[in-house]
Amino acid sequence: MNKNKIKVIAELCQNHKGDFKIVEEMVHAASEAGADAAKIQSIRSSDLTHRERFDTGSVDSEGKTTVKKRPYKDEYARLKPLDLSEDDHYKFIEICKKYSITPMTTIFNLSRIEFTKKAGFEVVKLSSFDCSAHFMIKEILKRNFKTIVISTGATFDEEIEETCKIMKAHEDFHLLHCVSIYPTRLEVAHLNRINYLKSLTKNVGISDHSDPEKTGLKLCISAVDVGATIIEKHFTILNKNETKDGVVSVNEKQLSDLVKLSNLSTADRKKYIKENIKEFEIMLGNEKRELSSEEFLNRDEVNEMIESAIRRHNRRSTIISSVLGWILIGGYSFGLFQAVQNV
């Protein structure tokens, strides 16, 4: 990622609808707009786990949601057509090379770490909900990726600080301020969190989920003025009503504007903010903040997926260790038997 002073990541997410032809068109468009990196998500429908309490959800006596309703069958049916194959990952890297843009991916599952390295990705991201998955972070560190980016939405400060302790030896490690509300309203942006994150590591950016049709690029540009050096923004070339993430995604023109505006000189940026972003002070918020009820619900849902993935990983490791143990015992017994025969 070396085009711009302020790096811009075009997050393709599932806006490609599982069609690699659209992926290629998106990479080309992102490169033409001046983005530094294009990112896909290494997530598969088969990674989903069935958790009964999310099939029905839960509401308390006051009508407040306490468990999100997201039925397994419905979510699997939604994600299945959006899967990118392993071959698509290899092709994505080649397409990015063709259009001179850095290929990135978000790793959502322990089982995808080894493949991601094997495929040739050098720049990877962990989502907000994995910022506290310290076991997974340690596994990723073992693969020596060149750059690791971690979002911090729906994560407690002590979890972020522990992550930074684990990551301190990595030469190119970045934190992204994020509010895990989709779309993010400007009044809950808490851009001053960037200053808190900068006390933990010098490389800090923002993952922005605001609605560009309602609030433009205000959150991104304001984040740069506070100190962000990376902007991650969802990107689409389709009509925004065609995909789930369309509402928080910029189009080609908006992405191009984002690259230009985020790389204005300091004086020009401050002038632009003064003339165009009256909500700047509102967006600053607090360095320290409580998680919102919506973020708690999102955290609850995804953390159970993480814990389930770790349990599956541990079960596989136990099985493999047991099999290897029996093989070693068998080999030793056979060797002993041969030795006895030769005596």
For residue 226, tell me if it sits in a domain: yes
pTM here?
0.85
Nearest of 257, 252, 206, 253 to residue 228 by alpha carbon: 206
Decide: helix, strand or coil at residue 77.
helix
Residue 262 identity: S
For residue 213, tell me if it sits in a domain: yes
For residue 320, tell me if it sits in a domain: no
Per-residue pLDDT reduced to its tens digit, 229-277: 999 999 999 999 999 999 999 999 999 999 999 999 999 999 999 999 9
Which position has the higher pLDDT, 296 or 2?
Answer: 296
Residue 331 identity: G
For residue 139, tell me if it sits in a domain: yes
Residue 77: pLDDT above 90? no
For residue 69, tell me if it sits in a domain: no
DSSP assignment of 107-121: E-SGGGHHHHHHHT-
For residue 235, tell me if it sits in a domain: yes
Percentage of the chain with pLDDT > 90? 68
Which position has the higher pLDDT, 40 or 307?
Answer: 40
Amino acid 32: pLDDT? 98
Residue 210 identity: S
Question: What are the start-end ranges of the E strands in 109-226?
Answer: 123-126, 147-151, 173-178, 204-208
Tally of domains in the chain: 1
Residue 70: pLDDT above 50? yes
CATH number for 245: 3.20.20.70
Range of the domain at 97: 7-44+83-291
**Is residue 183 reached through a cis peptide bond, with omega within 30 degrees of 0 on the bond before it?**
yes
For residue 298, tell me if it sits in a domain: no
Average pLDDT over residues 331-339: 42
Tell me how long the chain is.
343
Which position has the higher pLDDT, 55 or 152?
Answer: 152
- Cβ atoms of 10 and 32 within 8 Å: the answer is no
Amino acid 91: pLDDT? 98
For residue 343, tell me if it sits in a domain: no
Least confident of 23-27, 70-74, 299-303, 339-343: 339-343
Burial of 36-47, coded b for 16+ CB within 10 Å and e otherwise, reads bbbbbbbbbeeb
Amino acid 63: pLDDT? 80
Average pLDDT over residues 268-291: 96
CA–CA distance, 229 with 243 (Å, rounded to integer): 28
R_g (Cα) of the chain, nearest Å: 22
pLDDT band at residue 119 using 50, 70 and 90 as cut-offs: very high
Residue 150: pLDDT above 50? yes
Reported as type and span, the H/E element at residue 226 is helix 218-226
- Rounded to the nearest 5°, which phi and psi values hold at 314? -65, -40
Per-residue pLDDT reduced to its tens digit, 22-53: 999 999 999 999 999 999 998 877 877 777 87
CA distances from 214 to 5, 67, 250, 307 (A): 27, 29, 11, 36
- Regarding beta strands 102-107 and 65-67, do their DSSP bridges make them parallel or antiparallel, or are they unpaired? unpaired
Residue 325: pLDDT above 70? no
Average pLDDT over residues 152-156: 94
> How high is the mean pLDDT of the chain?
87
Least confident of 45-54, 80-89, 162-171: 45-54
